[in-house]
Amino acid sequence: MNHKILKLLFILCTLILFDRNCSAQYKNEISVYTGFLQLKDELNQGMVYNGPQIGFQYQRNWFLKEWELHYNPKIAAGVPFNRGMTAATINFVPIDFSGIKTVYQKNNHDFRLGLNFVTNYSYQVYSEQHSAQLFWYGEIGIAPCIEYGYQWNQKRIKVFLQNSVAGFVSRTEEIRPYFYSFKISDFFTQPNQNMQFGSFDKYNHTTISAEYIPDISRKHSFVVRSRLLP
C-alpha cells in the first residue's frame, strides 16, 4: 500500500516539474549548515545524546503564476556525546517536495499555505553501548505548511511552520541481545520495513523556522530552524 502511494506521488511530482509547457522561472540554492543535535530513544535506556551536526542541502525553486514549488533534498551527519560515550548519526532526506500558494497579501504582509511530501530517514549508532546495533527512523508523509512574511524597505522576515498529518513510519523495534554487524544494505532495507500508517496517534514531525533577509537585492539571509521528531 505504501509503495503504491509513493509511486503515485512521485509520478505526480515528476509531471509537474518536467512539463515543458510550464513557463515557470526557477532558482537553485546550495547551502552548508551546522546545528545542535539532541537524541533520545526509549530503547536506549532513556539516555540523551547531545552534539554538533553538519549538513549539505540543495534546493530548486520554481515560481509559477500563483504557486511556488520547492524540491529540497538534504543529508546531515552528527557526533553527539553522553557521559564520555560517542554516537554517530546520519539524516538523509532524498525527497522533500512542497507546493505553496499566497492566499493573502496586503500592506507588506503576506500569508501562504501549502502542502509538503517527504521521505525522511535517520540512522543512529551507539557503538560503546550497543556494539553495532543500528537505530533507525523512516518516514513517508505529508504535511500542511504555512508561511508569514513581512517586508519593509529592503528588509524582509519570514516565519514558516510545517506539521505532519499522516504518513507511514518505521522505527527500531528492539535491542538485539547479541553483537549485530550491520551491512550497507541495511541502511536501505531496515527503515522501509514494518511501515505502519498513522497520524498524530503514532508520530509527529514538526518544522519551525524564522528567516531574516537584511537586503532582498542580495543573496544572503540568516535562518534559525528547529526540527522535532517523536
Over the chain, what is the mean pLDDT? 81
Please state the rounded mean pLDDT for residues 216-220: 74
The model's pLDDT over 96-148, given as tens digits with 9 standing for 90+, comes to 999 999 999 888 899 999 999 999 898 888 877 776 677 888 889 899 999 99
Render pLDDT for 42-51 as a digit per residue (tens, 0 to 9).
777 778 899 9
pLDDT at 219 (0 to 100): 67
| Residue 54 confidence (pLDDT) | 94
| CA within 13 Å, CB half, 217 | 3
pLDDT of 20 > 50? The answer is: no
Sign of CA dihedral 37, 43, 48, 51: negative
**b/e per residue, 33-45, with b = 16+ CB within 10 A?**
eeeebebebeebe
Contacts of 128 (CB under 8 A, 6+ apart): 85, 86
Which 8-state DSSP code applies to residue 107? T
Please give the DSSP secondary-structure letter assigned to residue 190.
Answer: G
Cell numbers standing for residue 116: 509538503
Grid coordinates of 75: 543529508
User: Which cell numbers hold the place of 108?
Assistant: 507588506
Residue type, 85: M
pLDDT at res. 179: 56
pLDDT of residue 164 exceeding 80, the answer is yes
Confidence band (pLDDT; 50, 70, 90) for 149? very high
- Does 23 score more than 80 pLDDT? no
What's the average model confidence in pLDDT over 9-28? 58
C-alpha cell at 28: 537553485
**pLDDT tens-digit series, residues 42-93:** 777 778 899 999 999 998 888 887 788 889 999 999 999 988 888 899 999 9
| Beta bridge mates, 124 | 89, 135
**The C-alpha cell of 8 is what?**
503515485
Lowest mean pLDDT across 16-30, 137-151, 197-211, 213-227: 16-30
- Taking the C-alpha atoms of residue 61 and residue 69, their distance in angstroms, rounded to an integer, is 6
Within 10 angstroms of residue 50's Cβ, the number of other Cβ atoms is 14
